Structure 1
Amino acid sequence: MNALWLFPLIVGAGVLQAAGNAMNGALRNALNNAWLASSVSFGLILFATVALFAIMPRPFPTAEGVSEMPWWAPLGGLTGAVAVVVGLMFVDKVGAGPFNGVLIAANICASLLIDNFGLLRMPPHALSAGRIVGGLLMAGGAACIALF
């Protein structure tokens, strides 16, 4: 299967994530409390996902799938929440460009290690010179955005 058609969707998600970080900063400023702002943000997410599940309840998980699930799999949302809360607290202090640049560069560098070592049950994708250069360029670009 050619997954090339997925990249416009991924680009759209990246644009939305950048906008979402700025929106979350405005939410925190308006509510004057990062924890309340996080609760409002995640409350809306919970409402939307429960509504979507009610509309599209299938497929249901299988007993086999649940029994084979690693203990840490449900923690993915919590790890993503850390980025949201950090964004709520600091995006307006450093700016959307530096915040997202550093966040994404750290994400890319960590992802390269996850891919290389096949961590978290991901299929391995070996580090190559091109991938290393790409990670370094991402980190360097984020540093330029943050410093200048």
Structure 2
Amino acid sequence: MEKWPLVLNAIVIGMAIAMQPIVNNQLKNYVQHPLQAALLSFSTGTVLLALLCAGMYFFGNVPLPEIASLQKGPWWIWLGGTLGVFFITASICLVTPLGPTTMLMCFIVGQLTASVIIEHFGLLNIPVHPLSGQRVFAVLLMIVAIMLITRRS
């Protein structure tokens, strides 16, 4: 399968993610607290997801998940939303003092670091991709990029 359409799709989604902290930070200016802004952000997303899932159920013949099936999963499958709270709230708080570019670069370095560790050990049921010098070098290049972006001219 050709991966370039997926890569381009991921880039476009990344562009949307770059806008999210800025939009949520502006929302915070009207509600006066980052947690309230995060709650409103999650609420609008939840409404959209509920509408999409209802449409898939009624018009796409996608069945509802079965409770028995959900109970078979590991405990940590329920942490996704919780982790999202940390991301959304941190991005609301950090986008102004760091700027969107530095903040997102720091998030990306954190994501890459965690990802190479998760893949190296096959954590969370992810296939193993051993740590290599090339992967370590890529993460180090991202750290250098942060240093260059934050360096005063």
Residue of structure 1 in register with 2:48 after alignment:
48
What's the TM-score once normalised by structure 1's chain length? 0.91
Residue of structure 1 in register with 2:14 after alignment:
14
Residue of structure 1 in register with 2:121 after alignment:
117
What RMSD in Å do the two structures reach over aligned CA positions? 1.6
Residue type matched to 2:128 in 1? P
Secondary structure in 2 matching 1:72: helix
Q: CA deviation at 1:99?
A: 0.6
Residue of structure 2 in register with 1:85 after alignment:
89
Stretches of structure 2 that go unaligned for 5 or more consecutive residues are none
Of 53, 57, 79, the residue aligned with 1:75 is 79
Stretches of structure 1 that go unaligned for 5 or more consecutive residues are none
Do residues 39 (structure 1) and 39 (structure 2) align? yes
Q: Distance in 2 between matches of 1:137 and 1:83?
A: 23
Q: CA deviation at 1:105?
A: 1.0
Q: CA deviation at 1:39?
A: 1.3
Residue of structure 2 in register with 1:147 after alignment:
151
Secondary structure in 1 matching 2:129: coil
What's the TM-score once normalised by structure 2's chain length? 0.88
Quick check: 62-71 or 52-61, which moved more?
A: 62-71
- Larger RCO (alpha carbons 8 Å, 6+ apart): 1
Q: Distance in 2 between matches of 1:101 and 1:141?
A: 8
Q: Verify the 8 A CA contact 1:115 1:126 in the aligned structure 2.
A: yes
Residue type matched to 1:78 in 2? T
Do residues 106 (structure 1) and 105 (structure 2) align? no
Q: Distance in 2 between matches of 1:106 and 1:18?
A: 16
Q: Verify the 8 A CA contact 1:28 1:89 in the aligned structure 2.
A: no
What's the CA shift string for 1:12-36, capped at 9, x where partnerless? Answer: 1111101111111111123221121
Secondary structure in 1 matching 2:75: coil
Do residues 131 (structure 1) and 135 (structure 2) align? yes
| Structure 1 consecutive aligned stretches of length 4 or more whose deviation exceeds 4 Å | none
Number of residue-to-residue matches in the alignment: 148
Identity %: 28
Secondary structure in 1 matching 2:65: coil
Q: CA deviation at 1:90?
A: 1.9
